[in-house]
Structure 1
């Protein structure tokens, strides 16, 4: 049967970066992989970030959500049926940072998928520079996407102290207990909980670590369910609900201006609680830059080609305030 891994993690945790390394390990073992990207908007930046590992041994596909669980679950099922006929030996699903875990399990247990697929590992990625002051909803998302995991991989550990890593683990423990998770496999002792995590620097994961990750499995972590939604809007869209995406097309800023605007917007409470800003922007005649920013860190990479869009992800976002920091091109001219 085809194994399916689910890579979960809160917004900006580093899922895509981990997947690149994980896929290279699996490909080296001769395993043909397909990465299935799920997002709540029509533009999926993470798909573009995975283009460099697309090959005969690694496919990259996308499904789009945003119009209700039932419709999204049908698209997921249809895509998995297609992939089952394509010769892949393992499928890796990377969902949006806001994801209902039950949807994953329910879909794979349906016929005919249950004849072709089996769940491999649920792998949670958690950032070692996790914010202390997450909202109640954000803590729920963090915990619900770890509750079923067989293992948690801490990302960005090279940027923090051992004390910070201990602090993040305790934050996760508190968040899990806060939604009623009662997993004896991780809560039976301090050692068991510590072994729930892998915390190594980005380039420090060994083949043995990846073997452990690939065979980590999963647990149905029973917990109190809470209904959350992820809304999306265009560059001039209305304010969303608790969690939302704001898409900014044709941003007319230089590289230095963009960096400055990202810093100002993330730290301006009038914009709402911005969790992550990611996307691609034109960089003069040199091509494009890829930006990926959280409150703690901004990374910039030069690339030759991309779809020009900046996506702001967060809670209670104010589109009017954010648009003031990211002026966009005249849409009438863009559409000509």
Structure 2
């Protein structure tokens, strides 16, 4: 028992003199994590798209002088280069301990409604933004034998109709993180992936839409295929799912903190309520025909088939 207590005490992490760089701190997970780490004693570099906005200024008001807000658009090389200069000039004695690639955007629509520009836009933030804010900091993290943390999603390994663009980017982020983890392991660096479920109601990363908004963006071919009645049904369904999301944002920030301070962090943190975690864990191992049947048998997709397929047959 005494040995166990000694071991636990020896594993207590001391954040003093260590810095963490977090992207996407204007709101959501990044915002809450920045506050948590500041209160723990880390030096926090909080990257915000809008440094004069309410989210960034809230961090300035509520956190200590150790937290520094940096203007970073993760799609811009010059912003990341400037952020690195600021961080290197203000590093505490133990250096840069962690980089948390959290910045991201989302949207929903049927795959057919998307344009290639929409794929480019989301990939530039979610995928290339994560890569852009990782590569320049690898030498600093290697020097401290620290942590790289990537915020992904359950949609990286579970396919959901209407969210193909987002899923594509998050699956690619995980491939990047997996390769990086293996390469950096020999230097004592740990790479972790956070996979939240539906926390849209608290992060607002996925906004609600009105049927008319989608209809007004349709071309003539889409208007011929997808009627307005269907759009009202699908938007009501998605908006309801968003409002029903998990509201306990601490589940995600707890996982992020563990990834940064645990002596033996998980490679992946699947974050949701217990029932959803069981389902999400099993889903990738199901035969494709069984997994597809979850969607084919659902009420919303039976309505979709009756409203769209039958109309085309006629």
Decide: shared fold, TM above 0.5. no
Q: Where is the helix percentage greater, Structure 1 or Structure 2?
A: 2
**Whose radius of gyration is greater, 1 or 2?**
2
Q: Where is the strand percentage greater, Structure 1 or Structure 2?
A: 1
Normalising by structure 1, report the TM-score: 0.36
Normalising by structure 2, report the TM-score: 0.38
